[in-house]
């Protein structure tokens, strides 16, 4: 096997001949799972090679792929990284692996040609799922953080976060604290791009800034992120000073805890905060704080306790019911020091996308005006994204900037994606803190996909649109001549919306100007497109019975009449104690379950033709929708109303014709004959059948002059997608917030949610919503669509309104492990408080706070411990264990119990400031990496 390494500038005769190293010996198998500590073994793998030169490989090497010198016109691969030899003199040395020692030699001209690789990235691999977090310390050293520090970010430092999913999907982010220096930012950006080359271009690669993180970054920390004051300190006089800190909790699904100076002025009834009170962690909750935020605040407090207090701390929850505890809590909000006030917290979770100015640019270089022309404006279609190119999606200054890279794009498109996004950001004068996301094809986040009008996910792009019958699905086969779709399986989200067993007793009302008019049973299913109707049906589910209320809106009905219809629906729903499933049905878009309620047929008269004397001829179109459901519509009697995919009934005073289109089916033709018996019984035995293209002179006179007419009916504009849950804020002003990775617990009884599957929207209403808020349902759907980035029309969407505890199966199927008792809200909050009290009862903070393992270690003087090579009995990882009580207090400026009450990150700062910290340094001065040529 050969490996090619790109070297620094060499003489001309060696320019196209990078050194190759042969390694015939097989490599041992890598471990099957990641150790509990979240790190791989630091020992390097090795093997002998010919030419008396040896190279050691780290677990970074993923495959046995061969690397050779790239030829002109071919793009080289940068997908893997080689590690280096461990040698002190660059010529000879020895490395050990499981007790086996191997000697090696490397020529000087090779070692000089190999650029250095960051030692902290040696253990990175795409084959093992896990999360890495690195922080920049000092001027150039990148430190891999332990798992207990994940999610804690210093405001004055910079970080790199790498997340590898089980399917080898790689998410890479680099994060800037708001007080970090420009030098650190540039350095961590270089390190992040180096890591991006190591993993062969992460599928999602983003630049993040404090308080303005994207959802792509926040979703890596389900239990929230916590901002820590300042930067990792190293000065002894500063690191030992620690005062009480308060954290403001911001967000809903993914929260951020912002560090502020404790002050009663910062308490807000709409927010929650956490006070780090050493042995106790206080969670203060405002009176109007949402229950979802309350639960997240408790979750953040548990994260601080478990990861920074070694699970030894009490959590005290204080809400509006604890009057006496509120008074005592306010007294704790002072440090006794004159510290400068913190800046005001920033909330950008509800940052709106500039819908009107969404633009897609094709990116070919760095120059914005010349290399980034506009490809399309809203509404966007997926076909605009070409695999061999890269594109930049501009959604405004308040939302992330996306750089999409096709699977067949060149190497520079992926390498320079962030750089080109920064150039565009500067050209448009957008804020410098704007998140920039480079995403690879087939790994687009939902915030990107929802902007496109016709997006199709990868798993649905290749679905066959033909019937497939087997033993498993023959019972669900749809044998209609009009159904050309794949038979839906039970676990597919794209399956037809069906109701359970329908009881045949219906109540139908026609909405009048002032009241409702009942429709007799013999006229059920006969509508007028100038009116609106309400249909109430009873459905028996698996474990409960439901009421389904359809409100049918005629295509020619007035806006005022439609609003009155909605008010009548809400009024009847209140009379039935909000147990109804309310479904909006638009004229011409009747769903299958609505047709089943009307005995599989509907007749619609045209309000302009029914009583008009302008036309002496009547014409009705008979069309099969799906599965034998027939729809009869009165149309204008002329040739332009014909359609080859339907049958028509044409009646005059003297004659009657049945016109059959070439693509019409047998059920449609037979139903047209039965319609003649209903509409004109006197002509049921006196009619003439005419096939398309064989019209006689009399029929041509009735239909008028020849003109073109459609051959088929238009297909639905929208297709079903993966659902998206959206929270509707309705307190002060109406706004909407996406809930990523939603689950049943996200539904709270105090809120309204939209479950959007693109062609269908469920409006879910909690049981604690008052009547005044329910009246806003008249305008909520339209306001939601006005902010839609895909440019949909409300008339193309199926709209359902459901209430808590009365959800249909077609809504439940979008949630995993649905349980009728697992709603979020007051009940879950009360149960969580009870569990916190139970956890506090088994924690003895006085006995367990101090780590008493130091007692068994021998004691030494401080000057002995700070030596470069202390005695072998000294634990280099915990030198503080060897200090006596007197030395400990002199060095740390605090007693040992006070020291152990500090968070772990603060303890580490104190230890490093006292020069007792342990740094793992690599003995390997030479590293090898593969760089992509420009």
Q: What does the pLDDT look like over 813-829, one tens digit per residue?
A: 888 878 877 788 888 89
The reply to whether 125 and 197 lie within a common domain is: yes
Give the pLDDT of residue 861: 84
Give the burial class of 155: count Cβ atoms within 10 A of its Cβ; 0-12 exposed, 13-18 middle, 19 or more buried: buried
Co-location of 626 and 577 in the same domain: no
User: Which candidate, 631, 538, 547, places its Cα nearest to that of 588?
Assistant: 631
The DSSP letter of residue 380 is B
Residue 732 CA: distances (Å) to CA of 354, 717, 773: 21, 35, 11
Residue whose structure tokens are 């920049």: 136
Q: Pick the range with the lowest mean pLDDT from 49-58, 250-259, 911-920.
A: 49-58
What does the alpha-carbon distance between residue 407 and residue 705 come to, in Å, rounded to a whole number? 54
Q: What is the CATH number of the domain that holds 518?
A: 3.40.20.10
Q: Give me the pLDDT at residue 491, please.
A: 40
Q: What is the pLDDT confidence band of residue 503, given thresholds at 50, 70 and 90? A: low
Higher pLDDT, 780 or 706: 780
Do 774 and 814 belong to one domain? yes
Q: What residues have CB less than 8 Å from 1, skipping those under 6 apart?
A: 22, 23, 24, 64, 66
In a domain, 625, yes or no: yes
Domain termination site, one of 585, 604, 623: 604
Q: Domain of residue 749: give its range.
A: 724-826
| Residue 539 is assigned to a structural domain of this protein | yes
Residue 33 lies in a domain: no
Residue 459 has pLDDT above 70, yes or no: no
Rounded to whole angstroms, the Cα distance separating 664 from 669 reads 7
Residues 599 and 619 in one domain: no
pLDDT reading at 156 higher than 50 = yes
Please report the pLDDT score of residue 462 as a whole number: 39
Mean pLDDT of 912-919: 73
Q: 3-state class of 141 per DSSP?
A: strand
572: nearest Cα among 642, 507, 665, 649 = 507
Residue 698 in this model has a pLDDT that exceeds 80? yes
171's enclosing H/E stretch is strand 170-176
In-domain check, residue 738: yes
Provide the b/e sequence for 476-505 (b: ≥16 CB within 10 Å).
Answer: eebeeebbeebbeeeeeebbbbebeebeee
What is 269-337 written as a DSSP string?
A: TT-EEEEEETTEEEEEE-TT--HHHHHHHHHHHHHHHHHHSTT--EEEEE-TT-HHHHHHHHHT---SS
Tokens at 550, concatenated = 């359809």
Statement to judge: residues 509 and 576 lie in one domain: yes
Distances (CA, A) of 550 to 625, 640, 651: 18, 32, 32
pLDDT at 367 over 50: yes
Give the pLDDT of residue 113.
36
pLDDT in tens, 840-858: 988 887 666 666 777 878 8
Residue 88 in domain: no
Tell me if 314 sits within 8 A of 279, measured CB to CB.
Answer: yes
Residues 212 and 126 in one domain: yes
User: Do strands 630-635 and 647-651 pair parallel, antiparallel, or not at all (unpaired)?
Assistant: unpaired
Give which of 768, 805, 762 is closest to 781, Cα–Cα.
762
Average pLDDT of the residues in 370-386: 90
Contact 740, 777 (CB under 8 A): no
Sign of CA dihedral 307, 308, 313, 316: negative
Residue 434 in 3-state DSSP?
coil
Burial class (CB in 10 A: 0-12, 13-18, 19+), 697: exposed
- Model confidence at 42, pLDDT cuts 50, 70, 90, reads very low
In terms of Cα–Cα distance, which of 216, 215, 213 is closest to 737? Answer: 215
Q: Indicate the helix (H) or strand (E) that contains 697.
A: helix 697-703
Residue ranges of alpha helices (H) inside 718-861 are 771-774, 780-786, 809-812, 826-841, 845-848
Do 217 and 254 lie in a common domain? no
Contact yes or no for 237/458 (Cβ under 8 A): no
Q: Same domain for 198 and 172? A: yes
For all residues of the chain together, what is the average pLDDT? 78
Domain holding 859: CATH number? 1.10.950.10
Token look-up 């309400």 returns 534
506 in the same domain as 587: yes
Is 755 contained in some domain? yes
| Structural domain ending residue among the three candidates 331, 348, 375 | 331
CA distance 857 to 878: 10
Asked if residue 462 belongs to a domain, the reply is: no
pLDDT digits (tens, 9 = 90+) for 193-236: 999 999 999 999 999 999 999 999 999 998 899 998 866 655 55
Say how many domains are in the chain.
Answer: 7
- Return d(Cα 713, Cα 709) in angstroms, integer: 11
Q: Is residue 23 part of a domain?
A: no
**DSSP symbol at 522:** G
Same domain (yes/no): 130, 217: yes
Please tell me what DSSP assigns to residue 816: T
What DSSP element (H or E) covers 537? strand 532-540
Tens of pLDDT, residues 547-586: 899 999 999 999 999 999 999 999 999 999 898 999 999 9
| Minimum mean pLDDT range among 80-94, 105-119, 642-656, 728-742 | 80-94
Residue, of 722 and 353, whose pLDDT is higher: 722
- Interatomic CA distance for residues 136 and 134, integer angstroms: 7
My answer on whether 600 and 628 are in the same domain is no
Q: Are residues 507 and 596 in the same domain?
A: yes
pLDDT, tens digit (0-9, with 9 covering 90-100), for 44-55 = 333 333 333 333
**Residue 366 pLDDT:** 86
């Amino acid at each position: 096997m050969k490996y090619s390494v790109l070297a620094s500038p060499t003489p001309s005769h060696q320019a196209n001949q990078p050194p190759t190293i042969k390694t015939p010996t097989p490599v041992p198998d890598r471990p099957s799972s990641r150790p509990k500590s979240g790190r791989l073994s630091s020992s390097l793998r090795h093997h002998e090679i010919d030419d008396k030169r040896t190279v050691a490989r780290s677990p970074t090497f993923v495959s046995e792929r061969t690397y050779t010198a790239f030829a002109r016109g071919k793009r080289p691969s940068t997908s893997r990284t080689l590690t280096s030899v461990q040698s002190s003199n660059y010529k000879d040395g020895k490395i050990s692996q499981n007790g086996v020692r191997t000697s090696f030699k490397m020529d000087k001209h090779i070692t000089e040609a190999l650029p250095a690789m960051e030692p902290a990235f040696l253990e990175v691999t795409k084959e093992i799922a896990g999360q890495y977090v690195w922080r920049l310390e000092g001027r150039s050293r990148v430190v891999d953080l332990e798992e207990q520090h994940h999610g804690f970010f210093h405001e004055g430092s910079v970080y790199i976060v790498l997340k590898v999913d089980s399917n080898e999907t790689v998410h890479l982010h680099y994060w800037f604290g708001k007080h970090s220096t420009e030098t650190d930012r540039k350095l961590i950006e270089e390190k992040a791009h180096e890591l991006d080359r190591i993993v062969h271009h992460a599928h999602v690669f983003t630049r993040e800034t404090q308080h303005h993180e994207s959802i792509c970054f926040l979703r890596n920390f389900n239990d929230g992120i916590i901002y820590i004051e300042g930067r990792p300190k190293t000065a002894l006089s500063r690191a030992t000073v620690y005062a009480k800190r308060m954290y403001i909790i911001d967000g809903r699904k993914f929260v951020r805890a912002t560090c502020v100076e404790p002050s009663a002025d910062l308490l807000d009834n709409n927010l929650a905060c956490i006070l780090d009170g050493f042995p106790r962690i206080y969670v203060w909750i405002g009176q109007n704080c949402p229950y979802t935020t309350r639960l997240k605040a408790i979750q953040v407090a548990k994260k601080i306790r478990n990861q920074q207090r070694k699970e030894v701390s009490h959590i005290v929850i204080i809400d509006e019911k604890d009057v006496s505890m509120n008074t005592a809590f306010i007294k704790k909000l002072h440090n006794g020091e004159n510290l400068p006030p913190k800046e005001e917290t920033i909330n950008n979770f509800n940052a709106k996308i500039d819908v009107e100015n969404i633009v897609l640019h094709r990116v070919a270089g760095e120059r914005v005006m010349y290399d980034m022309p506009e490809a399309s404006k809203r509404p966007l279609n997926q076909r605009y994204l070409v695999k061999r190119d890269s594109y930049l999606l501009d959604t405004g200054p308040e939302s992330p900037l996306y750089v999409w890279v096709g699977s067949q794009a060149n190497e520079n498109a992926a390498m320079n994606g962030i750089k080109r996004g920064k150039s565009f950001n500067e050209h448009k004068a957008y804020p410098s803190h704007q998140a920039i996301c480079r995403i690879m094809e087939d790994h687009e986040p939902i915030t990107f996909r929802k902007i496109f009008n016709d997006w199709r996910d990868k798993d649905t792009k290749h679905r066959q649109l033909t019937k497939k019958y087997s033993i498993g699905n023959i019972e669900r086969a749809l044998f209609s001549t009009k159904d050309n779709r794949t038979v839906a399986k039970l676990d597919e989200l794209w399956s037809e919306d069906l109701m359970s067993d329908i009881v045949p007793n219906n109540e139908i009302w026609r909405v009048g100007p002032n009241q409702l008019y009942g429709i007799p049973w013999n006229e059920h299913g006969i509508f007028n497109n100038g009116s609106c109707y309400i249909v109430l049906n009873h459905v028996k589910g698996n474990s409960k019975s439901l009421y389904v209320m359809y409100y049918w809106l005629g295509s020619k009905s007035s806006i005022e009449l439609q609003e009155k219809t909605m008010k009548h629906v809400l009024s009847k729903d209140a009379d039935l104690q909000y147990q109804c499933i309310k479904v909006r049905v638009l004229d011409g878009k009747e769903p299958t379950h609505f047709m089943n309620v009307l005995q599989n047929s509907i007749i619609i008269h045209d309000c302009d033709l029914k009583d008009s004397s302008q036309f002496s001829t009547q014409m009705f179109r008979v069309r099969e929708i799906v599965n034998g459901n027939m729809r009869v519509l009165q149309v204008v009697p002329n040739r332009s109303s014909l359609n080859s995919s339907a049958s028509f009934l044409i009646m005059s005073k003297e004659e009657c014709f049945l016109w059959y289109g070439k693509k019409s089916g047998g059920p449609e033709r037979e139903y047209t004959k039965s319609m003649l018996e209903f509409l004109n019984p006197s002509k049921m035995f006196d009619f003439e059948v005419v096939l398309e293209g064989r019209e006689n002179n009399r029929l041509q006179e009735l239909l008028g002059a020849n003109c073109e007419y459609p051959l088929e009916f238009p297909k639905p504009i929208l297709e079903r997608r993966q659902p998206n849950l959206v929270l509707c804020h309705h307190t002060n002003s109406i706004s909407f917030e996406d809930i990523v990775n939603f689950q049943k617990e996200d539904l709270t009884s105090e809120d309204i949610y939209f479950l959007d599957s693109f062609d269908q929207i469920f409006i879910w209403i909690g049981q604690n919503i008052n009547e005044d808020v329910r009246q806003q349902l008249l305008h909520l759907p339209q306001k939601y669509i006005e902010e839609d980035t895909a440019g949909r029309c409300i008339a193309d969407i199926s709209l359902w309104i459901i209430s808590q505890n009365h959800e249909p199966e077609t809504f439940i199927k979008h949630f995993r492990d649905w349980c009728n008792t697992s709603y979020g809200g007051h009940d879950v909050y009360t149960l969580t408080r009870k569990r916190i009290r139970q956890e506090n009862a088994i924690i003895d903070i006085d006995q367990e706070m101090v780590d008493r393992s130091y007692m068994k270690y021998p004691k030494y003087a401080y000057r002995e411990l700070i030596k470069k090579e202390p005695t072998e009995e000294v634990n280099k990882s915990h030198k503080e264990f060897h200090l006596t009580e007197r030395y400990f207090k002199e060095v740390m400026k605090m007693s040992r119990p006070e020291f152990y009450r500090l968070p772990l990150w603060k303890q580490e700062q104190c230890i490093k400031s006292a020069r007792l910290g342990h740094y793992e340094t690599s003995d390997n001065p030479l590293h090898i990496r593969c760089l992509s040529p420009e």
